[in-house]
A and B are shown apart, each in its own frame.
Chain A
Amino acid sequence: MKSLVFYFQVHQPRRIRPYRRSEIGVRHDYFWDERNMEIMQRVAQKCYLPATRILLQEGIPASFSLSGVFLEQAAEYVPEVIDVFREYFRSGLGEIMSETYYHSLASIWNPREFREQVEEHRRLVQRLFGVNPVSFRNTELIYSDGISHEVRNMGFRNMITEGTDEIIAAHSPNFAYRSVSGLKLLFRNYRMSDDIAFRFSNPGWNDFPLFADKYAGWVAASPGDVTNVFMDYETFGEHQWKETGIFQFLKALPRELSSRGVEITTVDRAASENSDHGTVSVENPISWADTDRNLNAWLGNAMQNDAFNAMKTIDGDTDRKTWRLLQTSDHIYYMSVRNFADQDVHAYFNPYLSPYLAFIYYMAILDDMKKGRA
């Protein structure tokens, strides 16, 4: 039976606050609590709560990655979010995937740090939901053969990543594959995913407005075993506001799909039910970020590299938790200058509205860390 795999990324960073160099050695509170709380509360109301209730009511299966930084902030600011996810996973519809607790880039520079952060996430997920994940998704779907070996060694059986143009030129994203390390591998179908995540409410798009019957028709007509629809969970209600009809779309989709012989499923079920169509090797890291689909979103300019390298030199033993919170990839993502001059920067994607301020605050905080705090 043909299936559609839903995977949703759920993540909120602990954003750092505007931190002045004059505070170095004086103040050691780095995080922007009021802003972080406000964003968590807003997105909970607009997305996490209503969208998850729809999944429950309509019986829609999905795989989720819930970053540790997201979970700890949800527990702190909107505990109801944890409750509704718990109910969803208890229902058996959902799969929780593993990842680094901090949504970090540890996989590309420090294998030990990578393992420890994955382990920290595993403990949290076990404690909150009583689940041991078997599928892995790395930060923003960053993937390479090297990373897949690490993930395999940690005992996982499935992993997902981006179906980049280079990969899908030779391998349709609509089948399961095998990594060189032996993991079952699913590739995101970026066209089908972006139809919902980006184009859904774009009136200039040829297929606007997109209704569930039309979309289900595309899925049914596409070749292969699976359609891998992977996106930010915030698509539902936050990136695409409820006024766009995104929730009605989500509600109507299971019926429209099943009437065409397509079932919705999770990563693990799709991976175990479909045999692999060969092995795929990915030497250099890829990701689902920006248009380059590599590491440029984080390490694409000199400020980002400076910041990343400075973070590595911090002695992690002094205040491990803070150091790891500063490893969250969003901090250096905010320093990206791609499209900065041409496009309106939305505060949602850069709370400082300036890559330079993101850099200044981060570097000042690292300098305070370096000075060694009691």
Chain B
Amino acid sequence: MKIAVIGWELPPAFSGGLGVHTINLFGRLAGVMNIDVYVPAMKRLGKNYPFNVVPVRLQRGVIGNPYEIEGFPDFREAVDDYNLRVLERFDPHGVSLVHCHDWITFRAGEMIREKYGIPLVITFHSTERDRSGNFNPQADIMSLERDGARAADRIIAVSKFTRDEIIRDYGADPEKITVVHNGVDNEHYTMRPRTYEPTNRVLYLGRVTTQKGPRFFMEAAELVSQRMPDVRFVVAGTGDQYDEVRRLASELGISGKTDFTGFVSFRKSVDIYRSSDVFVLPAVSEPFGMTVIESMILGTPAIISKTTGVGEALRNVLRVDYWDTELIADYVESMLMFRSMRRIMGTMGQQEASRFTWEKAAIDTMGVYLSI
């Protein structure tokens, strides 16, 4: 069996979620099938990958960190150009199916399907609605997502939450959607046992964007600080709402109790997770929520919004409506007060999160391929 994967980024050139996913999932599948991964040609691509990498040279637009240049006219132009170049460069010989990832690559898959009759699988890692935080989603991107959902023979969604969005927003046929949860690499995390002695630190970690709900974190923090004056709040990460959230902290009078760390490396994030009593993700719309799994694997209990996809598969978390800052504060306070609960939820959560493996994701993905 040979699969053509249309990707967008690969570590080390980028280490966004999509690149990490591509390496982990297709690195494992490469053991049992031939895989070509198409990506835009980038200077910092590595030399050795577990699969065959097909760099595609772009002629228009600029390829940089997609998260930073999104919104520039060049970004869309680059995306359009990439999809056309992939079609040109595509080698259909022996390819059983094409697997595209997110709207950035859907068009190429549709064109290949049309031209060569090769079945198309697409994965939704997120939807435009998620990325916009439910606020003013871009119509043209939504229409790319809709077209992809209609054309594809099979759809993979990273959560049931995302599956439901695709059905609701794009009228996708539920029969052809399969949920495949992301995995996590256990070996990268230290599993040293924790004492769960209080650190009195409450953590927000992730991109500081509307989608992830950092303002709700700050509002809950303010309520907690009224009742527990010695608690500190940590906002780790950067994003387009960074200044806005700092301003909000100041307005709420908790700047002095909040540490804004800016961007944190993976290594640093491990320390931050482990030195916090509780992790909070009040995301407005989060298709999966990798940080939840990371936090749990490190033994830090998590409070997450009901609109965070991974929550549907977790028992050892507390779930809230993202806007219910009073309840978030209530749960944070309980977590800070009771070591017994931190310890049980932390250790049970560690075991639970360890079940999200890339091996399982690979097997489930294989099942989708074989169903065609």
Chain A interface residues toward B at CB < 8 A: 20-22, 301-303, 305-306, 337, 340-341, 345, 354-357, 359-360, 363-364
Contact = CB atoms under 8 A, between A and B. Distances in A.
Contact of B318 (A301, A345, A357): A357
B141 to A, nearest CB: 37
A312 B333 CA distance: 23
A113 to B, nearest CB: 24
B315 interface: yes
B219 to A, nearest CB: 14
A21 B340 contact: no
A303 B340 contact: yes
A360 B316 contact: no
Contacts of A363: 334, 337-338
A301 B326 CA distance: 28
A359 B333 contact: no
Given A306-B338, A341-B316, A356-B318, A21 B345 contact: no
A83 to B, nearest CB: 42
A22 B340 contact: no
Nearest to A305: B340
A21 B341 contact: no
Contact of B330 (A21, A305, A340, A345): A21
B215 interface: no
16 contacts: A20-B327, A21-B333, A21-B334, A22-B330, A302-B340, A303-B338, A303-B340, A306-B340, A340-B315, A341-B315, A341-B316, A341-B348, A356-B318, A356-B345, A359-B338, A359-B340
Interface in B305-361: 315-316, 318, 326-327, 329-331, 333-334, 337-341, 343-345, 348, 351-352
B344 A364 contact: no
A364 B337 CA distance: 11
B344 A337 contact: yes
Contacts of B316: 340-341, 356
Given A20-B326, A303-B341, A306-B338, A360 B331 contact: yes
Interface in B15-64: none
Contacts of B338: 303, 306, 359, 363
Contacts of A359: 334, 338, 340-341
Contacts of B330: 20-22, 360, 364
B333 A303 contact: no
Nearest to A303: B340
Interface string B118-141: 000000000000000000000000
The B interface, classified by DSSP as helix, strand, loop or mixed, is helix
A340 B318 CA distance: 14
Nearest to B340: A302
Interface of B: 223, 227, 315-316, 318, 326-327, 329-331, 333-334, 337-341, 343-345, 348, 351-352
A37 to B, nearest CB: 25
The A interface, classified by DSSP as helix, strand, loop or mixed, is helix
A21 B329 CA distance: 9
Of the listed residues A340, A357, A360, the one surrounded by the most CB atoms of chain B closer than 10 A to its CB is A360
Contacts of B318: 354, 356-357
Contacts of B333: 21
Given A22-B330, A306-B338, A341 B352 contact: yes
A364 to B, nearest CB: 7
Given A22-B223, A22-B329, A360-B341, 15 more contacts: A20-B330, A21-B227, A21-B334, A22-B330, A303-B340, A306-B340, A337-B344, A340-B316, A356-B318, A356-B344, A357-B318, A360-B331, A363-B334, A363-B337, A363-B338
Nearest to A355: B344
Contact of B348 (A20, A21, A306, A337): A337
A302 B343 contact: yes
A302 B344 CA distance: 8
A121 B351 CA distance: 44
A22 B327 CA distance: 9
A334 to B, nearest CB: 14
Contacts of B340: 301-303, 305-306, 359
Contacts of A360: 330-331, 334, 341
A357 B337 CA distance: 14
Nearest to B196: A302
Contacts of B352: 341
Nearest to A301: B344
A22 B330 CA distance: 7
A302 B315 CA distance: 18
A65 B334 CA distance: 37
Nearest to A21: B330
Of the listed residues A21, A303, A345, the one surrounded by the most CB atoms of chain B closer than 10 A to its CB is A21
Of the listed residues A302, A303, A356, the one surrounded by the most CB atoms of chain B closer than 10 A to its CB is A356
Contacts of B326: 20, 22
A341 B334 contact: no
Contacts of B337: 363
A303 B344 contact: yes
Contacts of A357: 318
Contacts of A306: 338, 340
B164 to A, nearest CB: 20
Contacts of B348: 337, 340-341
A364 B327 CA distance: 13
Nearest to A340: B315
A365 to B, nearest CB: 12
Contacts of A305: 340
Nearest to B347: A337
Contacts of B227: 21
A342 to B, nearest CB: 9
A179 to B, nearest CB: 35
Contacts of A341: 315-316, 348, 351-352
A357 B327 CA distance: 12
Nearest to B314: A341
A363 B337 CA distance: 10
Nearest to A19: B330
